[in-house]
Amino acid sequence: MTHFPKTELNSVHRLPQRGQYDKETIYRIVDEAKICHVGFAVDGQPFVIPTIHARDGDMLYLHGAKASRLLKHIAEGHPVCVTITLLDGLVLARSVFHSSMNYRSVVLFGCGTVVEEDAAKLHALEVLTNQLVAGRWEDARKPTPKELNATTVVALSLESASAKIRVGPPSDDEEDYALPIWAGVLPLRQQALELAPDPRLNAGIPAPEYLSDLVSGD
C-alpha cells in the first residue's frame, strides 16, 4: 500500500486541494520533524501533549516514563491522533483574508500497543535516539536494564493519515493585485546554532561530526 485510503476520518475537509494521502509525502514530513503533538481524550476532555516520535516502517514509536499518563492511556488501547507541523513561511497577501502560512502538516490516526520485549524496546529506543540526531545511538551510553524498565515505549500502528501542504506565493483576489501593498512570503526555517558543550564536558572530547555537521553555515 503506497497510499492511505481516504475515509471520513482522515479526509482534508477545508481546502481539500491541499490534502495528500500518499505515504511517501506523509512519511517525509514525519521523518523531518523533531516533535509531534499527540491528542487523546479522557471522558470527552481533550489533551494535547508534545513529545518526540520516530517512525519505523508503518509504525510510530513514542516513549516516556513508565508513569506517563499519555502512554498509559495509549496502552489501554484508546485511539490517538498525532499531528506534526513544519512551518515554512508567513504568507503576506495584499488582503487580510488571503493571508496565510506555508506549512507541511500531517495528521496520523492509530491505536498503540506497548513494546514489552527488551530487544524490541532497545530497537525502538535506537530509532528514537537517531531521530533526535542521526548517529547518536552508536555514540551514547546505552540504557541499563533498570533504565529500560523505567521507560515505556508504545508503537502506534499508522492506520490512517493525511498530509496538508501549502507552498508558494500569496493568492490574492484578481482586483487586489493593483493595490500598492507589498505581498510575498517571509520564509521560515529551523536553524541549528553553534553547539553548546556541557560545562562539565571533560577536556579533549571533540564534538562528533554527526553533530557539528548539523550546525547551519553562514
- Residue in 49, 50, 18 with CA at minimum distance from that of residue 33: 50
Least separation in angstroms between residue 112's CB and a second copy is 13
The residue within the footprint of a second copy, chosen from 4, 30, 68, 115 (CB under 8 A), is 68
Name the residue nearer to a second copy (CB basis): 3 or 212.
Answer: 212
Q: Are 127 and 202 within 8 A, CB to CB?
A: no
Q: Examine residue 178 and tell whether it contacts a second copy (CB under 8 A).
A: yes
Q: Examine residue 17 and tell whether it contacts a second copy (CB under 8 A).
A: no
Q: Report how far residue 65's alpha carbon sits from residue 75's, in angstroms, rounded to the nearest whole number.
A: 13
What letter would DSSP give residue 71?
H
Site for a second copy in 131-170 (CB under 8 A): 132-133, 136-137, 139-144, 147, 150-151, 169-170
Q: Examine residue 94 and tell whether it contacts a second copy (CB under 8 A).
A: yes
What letter would DSSP give residue 117?
S
Distances (CA, A) of 176 to 59, 95, 106, 191: 46, 7, 32, 34
The residue within the footprint of a second copy, chosen from 24, 34, 120, 149 (CB under 8 A), is 34
Instruction: Find all residues with CB under 8 Å of 6, minimum gap 6, and list them.
Output: 21, 162
Q: Examine residue 56 and tell whether it contacts a second copy (CB under 8 A).
A: no
Least separation in angstroms between residue 9's CB and a second copy is 7
Least separation in angstroms between residue 205's CB and a second copy is 5
Number of residues that bind a second copy (CB under 8 A): 98
Instruction: Find all residues with CB under 8 Å of 34, minimum gap 6, and list them.
Output: 52, 131, 132, 190
Least separation in angstroms between residue 78's CB and a second copy is 8
Name the residue nearer to a second copy (CB basis): 2 or 144.
Answer: 144
